[in-house]
Each structure stands twice: as C-alpha cells, then as structure tokens.
Structure 1
Amino acid sequence: MYANHQEQQILPGDFFLPFGGRLSENNRWVQLSYLIPWRRVEMEYSKHFSGDLRGGRALSVRMALGALIIQEREGFSDRHLVQHILENPYLQYFIGLEAYQEEPPFDPSLLTYFRKRLGPDIINQVNEWIVEAGLQEEQDADDQDKDEDEPPTGPGHSDTDGESQDPPTHQGKLILDATCAPADVAFPTDLSLLNKGREKLEDIIDTLHAPHKGEMKKSRDRRRQARRDYLRTAKNRKPGRMAIRRAIGRQLRYVARDLGFIEQLVQHTSLTVLSRRQYRDLLVIGELYRQQLEMYRSRSHRVDDRIVSIAQPDVRPIVRGKAKANVEFGAKVAISVVSGYSLMEKTSWDSFNEGTTLIDSVERYLQRFGYYPEAILADKIYRTRDNLKYCKDHGIRLSGPKLGRPPKQMDPNQKKIERQDMGKRNAVEGKFGEGKRIYGLGLIRTRLRETSETVISIQLLVMNLEKRLRFLFCLILSELIALDFAINSAVA
C-alpha cells in the first residue's frame, strides 16, 4: 500500500533536535532539498503501486530517492549509508524526517528495492524536471542582468517598435558523446570463466545428489584433477598460446561432463531443489559452454552476446579503443549536454554506434525546449550521411569538416569555428570525468541489470543537482558582493 506521506516540505527550523539548536539554512543538504520537486516525484512514484489498502504502508519516495542520492553523492555502501544517516541530522532532514531519531529509518537491504521500484525511467524524468528548472533559473538571472544594464523604456515603447517577436526556431548548442560505465567484474578470460562455471556445476551436482545420498552412487566428476589442470596454467606467469588452448579444451570437457551428470540426476531429482541463484547459474553456464565451444572450434575470440561474467550475464565487452583500456565491460551510455546539464539519451548493455542516436537526441531536444539547436557538437563518428542530411534539412550546423577529401587550403574562418567547437565539446568529456572520478560512474557496483541502470541515471541526476547548487552559491555570492559595494559607496 502506498499513500501520500507529506503535503509540503518542512522548514529546517521546524526540524526537531532533542539536543537543542536548529538546522542551518546554508547547509548543502538543506539547499539540495529545495532543488528537488518532491511533490511531483511523489505523484509519479505513486502510479507504480496498486490501490489496495491492505498491507504495510510503503516508505515515502523522498526517503527512497533521497537515500539513493546521498549514497551516490558520497560513495557509501548500503550499510554505511544507514550508519551515516543515523549520525547526521541534516541527512535525516534531507530524506524527509521531521525530527532527529536514533533508530534506523530503514534496513540496508531495502536499498535494492528502492532502486528496482524507482527505476531509470522515473530517475530520468526527475532529471528532466531539475534541468528544466535550472535552465529557467539561469534564464531569469540573465534577463534580470539585462534589465539592470539597459535603461528602462518609456510607456508604449519596446525594443521591437511595437512588433511582436516570433519564437526562436533554433537556439542553443547540443553536445553529444558516449562512454562505458564499467561494471564491478573481474577481468574475464576464457579459462577463468570455464573454471568458475565448472565449480558452480559441481555445487549443483552436490545439491541434486543430496536427497539420494547412500542410495545412489555419485558420479565421478574428477573435480580435484580439474582443479590441478586449471592451476597448472593459471599459475604460469606467461603461458603460451597452445598451452592456454589445451587448458581451455580440458575445462570444456570437464564442463560438458558435469552437464551430462546433471541431465542424469534430473531424472531422479527435480530442479526445484536448487536455489534461485543455482538455477540461474545453470542456465547461464549452459549458454557460456555453447559460446566457448563455438569459439574453441572456430579458433576465434568473437561471438554474439558474449558472456563475460556468470554473476552478471548482462555485461558485455565494449571496445572503446582507449590507451588505458582498449576493452571495458559494462553498459554503454550516450548522453547529451545542454548548457552544462547532462541528460540521458540511451543506455544499452550491447555495444552500439553512437552516431545512430543523433536524430533521436535532436527530436528529444525539440520536445524539451520547443526549438531545434543551432549547432550540434560531436566527434566524427556522428558525421554520417544520414545525420548530415537530417541536419541540413532542419537548418542545424553539425560540427566538423565536410565528408570526402580535405581541401588543400582550408578557410581560416572555418578552421577557427572547428577549433572553437572542439573546445566547447570538451564539456561532455568533463562530465564523464566528473562522474567517473568524483562519483560512482567509473565503477558500477550493483549486480542486477535494472538496478545498474538506475544507478547510472542517478549519477547524472547528482551531477545536475551539484551544478544547480554551484549556480545558487554564485547568485548568493554576487548579491553579497553587490550589497557590500553598496554599503561601502554609501559610507564613502
């Protein structure tokens, strides 16, 4: 059951502290709480619950979303997050409590359900609202500065001489790029994956044989010999190519032998005796064996939907061509940056050509702001013939040189524009660096596909909240400087 928890946000002065004092309005968590449209999020969140009044009352969306924002902002684990919330009254205010309490507001295990229940769609919608409000604040601040700089016009006068201005059809710049959000998995090798799968199959054999212990003879699975064969190659510092191939062949035969034993045991014991994780591992290992056998026979290292982790079968190898890591393992994320704010465009666990997302990104830009961008700043992978034709038809400038052979003498103005575009496009690289170095985008520690996508979306949400917080700080600082200047001028 879910019911609306709070009609409006309480003020920091109304938050009860049993040890005296009051919360400061200038605290970052208090300021961040003002930037999130909790009421709109609550209305969207409540749609995912049934109207049945039976059962316990669900926790508020402010507690769920607020806890996830704190976790990704500070990099806490699930258990450490609950401990820090208990120790900090500002964090308790941020998640919607009305008074300081010494009991945990929720169990750490509920954080997984928070990520599942919210999901990437709700998080991305909240992010859209925050970006919309942030751009409006910046626009209002710019308009106020212009009004102060320009002399007031008299009655009946206007800048357009009585003519109404048409709404802009092209405005702003859209920056596009993609990156990989690496998952927390060990670097996969074919030999280690087969060995791990064999060990899990041996545990499944033990579980299936347990009801018939003493009645039916257990098959010889040669697990000790298989372990020695694996370590013989794994402990070698520089095994040769043929040595690795022979070791993989042995492990493939051990895995095939174990799968055959499981087929025999299933005739006597139902698979329902397996735990949910064991049953899932059995399905994954069956597909892993098929892929590895196909690559072994064809002497290749490529296969469709290649599994690189038994615990996280959704993770795929993403070839990035970077000097530090040529291949990364995780989800590929395409984002857009508008006026310093990051917006999600596409998340996929399979590698994709980010150039195919340009048209959809422009159409979403039109839906968000009501006009097309003046220019799109992106690298050369976006400069396909279809994208160039689309941009030309809609009057949008796509950064970069023309297709074909470069001219012998480039126009100096065109060269200057390309250099400026390259400098402005670095904003998206800065966002990737901010997310991976400061926040958790550089290593996604969640295991499930849906929770990982939620965490990736929260990373963009946190970065946009921090940008709005910096803008708010700059406004306050500029007002203080103007006030100080006015006081000094009056005294002089």
Structure 2
Amino acid sequence: MLRLKDPQLTLWDALLPSDLVQLNPELARVDELLEDDKFMAPFISRFDARLGRPTIPIETYLRLMYLKHRYGLGYEVLVQEVNDSIKWRRFCRIPLTQKVPHATTLIKLTKRCGPGVVEELNKALVQEAREKKIIRGRKLQVDTTVVEANIHHPTDAGLLADGVRVITRTVKKIQEAGVTLAGTFHNRQRSIKKRIYAINKVLKHRSNEAYQEVREITGAILKTTRKVIAEATCIVREAKDTLQQQGDQIKGKIHALVQTLEETISRTEKIVTQTAAVQEGNLHLPDRMVSIFDPDARPIKRGKANAPVEFGYKVLLQEVEHKIITGYKVLRGNPADDTLLFGAVEDHTETFNHPPHALAADRGFGGSGNENGCHQLGVKQVSLPRKGKISKARKAYQSQSWFKRLQRWRAGGEATISLLKRKYGLRRSLSRGYEGTTTWVGYGILAYNLHRLATIV
C-alpha cells in the first residue's frame, strides 16, 4: 500500500528549539523543490494505494536517497546518520518518536522501483527547472564517460574459479534445504585454488615461457570447470524433477536456489566458451563477459594512459546551461560516440519542445555527416571538431569565435563529469547488473541536479 506523506510532526518535535531543527540553506531549498507533487506521480502509477503492506512515506524515501547520494553514504551508514541528526530527521520528515526506516527496506524499495522511477524523477526535476525558467535549453553539450562495475579485474582463470565457487556454494545450499539428490557432486574448489596460486607464482617470472605455462594451467582449470558444470547440470535436472513431484510442499526459497544455479551454470558455460577460444589463440572476442556477478558489464577501451581498459558501462550525458544534466543514458558495451549524437539532439528536442540553438561536443562525436545532420535537426551552431587532418578551409571554420567559445564551454563539462565521479558515485556503481547501474546513475544525477538548483536559486 502506497503512503505518499506522513502525518504531522509530534508534540515532541514542536517543543524543540528552532536552532536545532532549522535546515541549512541547501537542505531547505532541496526540501522546497521536492515538495512538488510531480515527484509523487512515478510512485502512484506503480503502487496500489489500498492493498498490501504500507510503504515508508515516499517523501521520506526521496529525501533519504538524496542524502545517500549527496554524501556518498551506504544504506546502513545513512540510517545511522539520520537517526543521530535532528536536522536530518526533520529534513526527511521523520518524527522523533518514529524509527528511521531500516536499510533493507530502502534497498528493497529501490529494487522494486527500478530505473524507470528515477528516470521519471529526473524528468520531473528538469520540467520544474524549465517552468521556473532556470534553464531554457538553448545550448547543449554531449559527452560520454564510463561507470565502472563493482568487480575485480577479470582473468580467464579467475572467472572460471568464480563460476565453480558459486556453483558449489549453491548446490550445497540446495542440499542443506532438504532436497533429495541421487547424483553426486564433488567439491573441486581446493584443486582450482591451488592452480590459481600456481599462476601467481609463475607470473613473477615475466617471460614468454611463463605465459605458455599460465595457458597450460588455465587449460587444466578449464577441464575441471567442465566437470563441475556437467555434475551441476545433473543436479538441476534432479532438483526440477523433485520440485515437480512435490509441488506446493516445496518452499519458494528452494525454487529460487534452483533458478540461481541454472543461471550460474549458463554464465559459467559462456565463460568456458570464451576461455576455450582464448586458449586456441583468439584474443578478439566481441561480446566478452568480464564478471559472473555482473553479466552485462563489458570491457571498454577509452585510450586513457592510466586506465587503457575499464570494465563497466558507458554513460551518455547531456548538459545545458548552469551545468544541469537534462538527459542520461546507460549503454551496454562500447558504441562509438558519433553514433549517439542524433539521439541526444532528438531527446533534447523532446524535453524542451525545440532543438538547441548551439551544440558542442568533442572530437569523438565528429563523424562524417554528423554536422550536416544536426543542422537538419534544427541546430543553428554546431561545434564539432573534425577527426584527423583538416583542410585550411576547415581550420579557418573551426577558428571562428563562436566555434571556439562553444568548445571552451564544452571543456567545462569535463569538470561536471569529474564532480559526478568524485562526489555522486559515478566512478563505480555498487549496484550490479544493467538495471542496478542505471538506477545508481539516475539517483546520482538526481542528487547532483537538486544540489545545483539549490545553489542557483
């Protein structure tokens, strides 16, 4: 059951001195921005207002998520900090006589809402800024960055070991749950761990012979993983037969364990396939899995000296005047930047009901035909540096004052990306999967935009 707002504060809250409950200017302005009913609409369309267990008040949830991403707090630390601060309690609309919502409650509600809710919240905030004429959408700059997945550095042997470990752990849980299994399952984690240690010792030599020896050890781990998959597949088949025979007598937790085991086997099989290809000498795999825990994450090569390859998701950001982010898109894989430009302009036109007067982007977006295409979409000034060697005429065109002015403005967008990474969690997503990362990025941008608007007005 949906609860939008909490009843009025208690008598104890009214007796507190004003100095203890007065919010600082930033929180007071954010509180005023979140008071708009637009922010309740995404939740109203997804929750029943009469049936089910009551949710925490949505106004409280929104303010808690702002504090979490504004200050980079974990759920448990967030609950502790709000519980200890009278001002943060007042900001989150939590009376002194009530408990702060538990961390697991916030986690479950965030998963239940998913990326769709936070996307609508960001759109509602941009719409509010438009109505108050803070932004007009006359200028647009587009850029991309990478949000790293919360995974360890992937290696073929390490990924195989992860698959074997998760499969063994899940099979053990199924057996402990009381499911009768006739087939045997051998725990091979110890042998794989010994081979991982052997790889670490061999890599200290840093020679071509060491590389060949590592490939041999990886081949042995590959054979062991195939045996584990074969035994686990038989376990899944037997467990499904048992579930079908006993029917309603089996708990839902066992169904979930069997489903988890099946998914893990599927992911491990993909890792086995790509490892076998590497063993044969094929080092160029187009859709390479880099984690069994975050199967949608991909290697992204950006050409940076300190990080040649990053593992995670590419994010497209659209920024207008006053450094407000009006649009974002989390992308799977590493699509070329020049293929994303037209979509960004069309999204901007849909948001503001008119195309931007000026557009600025870096050289990566300067593909053939992009400049003319943007002019056809209604953009008057397009500041897109061309790739490669340019002619004298093009050099003179890019030396015009308006072109250089837009490029200087675009360079300021790098500072925005840096701020998002340092202060709002866009360096690394602690939520796994494509949907989890999209939700994480969305709340980070929502907190950033709220803070920007609070400081502007």
- Classify the TM-score, shorter chain: 0.7 to 0.9
The answer to whether the 8 A contact 1:345-1:357 is kept is no
CA deviations on 1:133-183 (whole Å, 9 max, x unpaired) are 33554659xxxxxxxxxxxxxxxxxxxxxxxxxxxxx97211001111112
From 463, 470, 484, give the equivalent of 2:448: 463
Paired AA for residue 337 in structure 1: E
Q: Which residue of 1 aligns with 2:405?
A: 420
2:310 pairs with 1:335: no
**CA displacement 1:260-299 (0-9 Å, x = unmatched):** 22244456544865455444322321222222223323x1
d(CA) in 1 for partners of 2:62 and 2:137? 33
Q: For residue 429 of structure 2, give the secondary structure of its aligned residue in structure 1.
A: coil
Cα distance in 2 for residues equivalent to 1:390 and 1:33: 42
Partner residue, 1:120 = 115
Closer, same or farther in 2 for the Cα pair 1:315/1:132, shift >3 Å?
A: same
For 1:346 and 1:86, how far apart are their aligned partners in 2? 34
Q: How does 1:62-461 map to 2 (within 5 A)?
A: 62-97=59-94, 99-101=95-97, 103-135=98-130, 137=132, 172-204=138-170, 206=172, 218=184, 223-236=189-202, 237-239=204-206, 240-266=210-236, 268-270=238-240, 274=257, 277-297=260-280, 299-339=281-321, 340-393=323-376, 394-401=378-385, 406-408=390-392, 410-411=395-396, 414-461=399-446
Q: Percent identity among equivalent residues?
A: 21
The aligned counterpart of 2:2 is 2
> Cα gap change, 1:81/1:17 in structure 2, threshold over 3 Å: closer, same or farther?
farther
Check 1:238–1:431 CA distance in 2 against 1; reply closer, same or farther (3 A cut).
farther
- Aligned-pair CA distance for 1:32: 1.3
- Corresponding residue for residue 34 of structure 2: 36
Offset at residue 362 of structure 1 (A):
1.5
Asked if structure 1 preserves the Cα contact closer than 8 Å seen for 2:5 and 2:59, the reply is no
The 8 Å contact of residues 337 and 427 in structure 1, kept in 2 or not, is answered as no
What residue is the counterpart of 2:246 in the other structure? Answer: none
Change (3 A) 1:17 1:84: farther
8 Å CA contact 1:305–1:316 kept in 2: the answer is yes
**Cα RMSD between the aligned structures?**
3.2
Q: Which moved more, 1:441-450 or 1:276-285?
A: 276-285
Alignment CA distance shift 1:440-1:312 (3 Å): same
Q: Which string of whole-angstrom CA distances, capped at 9 and with x for unpartnered residues, describes residues 34-73 of structure 1?
A: 122442211231110235x333222222122221111111
Whole-Å separation in 1 of the counterparts to 2:198 and 2:388: 54
CA separation of 1:106/1:342 partners in 2, compared to 1, >3 Å: closer, same or farther?
same
Secondary structure class of the residue paired with 2:306: coil
Query: Displaced runs of 4+ in structure 1, greater than 6 A?
Result: 12-15, 208-217
Q: Which moved more, 1:385-394 or 1:21-30?
A: 21-30
Structure 2 partner of 1:166 = none
Partners in 1 of 2:65 and 2:180 — Cα distance?
51
- Gaps (5+ residues) in structure 1? 141-169, 473-492
Give yes or no for contact 1:315–1:331 (8 Å, CA) kept in 2: yes
Identify if the C-alpha distance between structure 1 residues 15 and 116 changes in structure 2 by more than 3 Å, giving closer, same or farther.
farther
The code of the aligned residue for 2:57 comes to S
1:313/1:171 Cα in 2 relative to 1: closer, same or farther (>3 Å)? closer
For structure 2, the 5+ residue unaligned runs are 244-253
Alignment length (residue pairs): 436
Relative distance call for 1:402 and 1:72 in structure 2 (3 A) is: closer
CA distance in structure 2 between the aligned counterparts of 1:215 and 1:309, rounded to whole angstroms: 29
Q: Normalization by structure 1: what TM-score? A: 0.79
Preserved CA contact (<8 Å) 2:297 2:433: no
TM score, norm. by length of structure 2: 0.84
Structure with higher Rg: it is: 1
Q: Structure 2 vs 1, CA of residues 217 and 62 (structure 1 numbering), >3 Å: closer, same or farther? A: closer
Give the secondary structure class of the aligned counterpart of 2:405.
Answer: helix
Contact kept, 8 Å, 2:358 with 2:380, in 1: the verdict is: yes
Partner of residue 163, structure 1: none
More deviation in 61-70 or 127-136?
A: 127-136
Instruction: Decide whether the 8 Å contact of 1:233 with 1:247 is kept in 2.
Output: yes
Matched position secondary structure for 1:81: helix
Alpha-carbon deviation of 1:184? Answer: 1.5
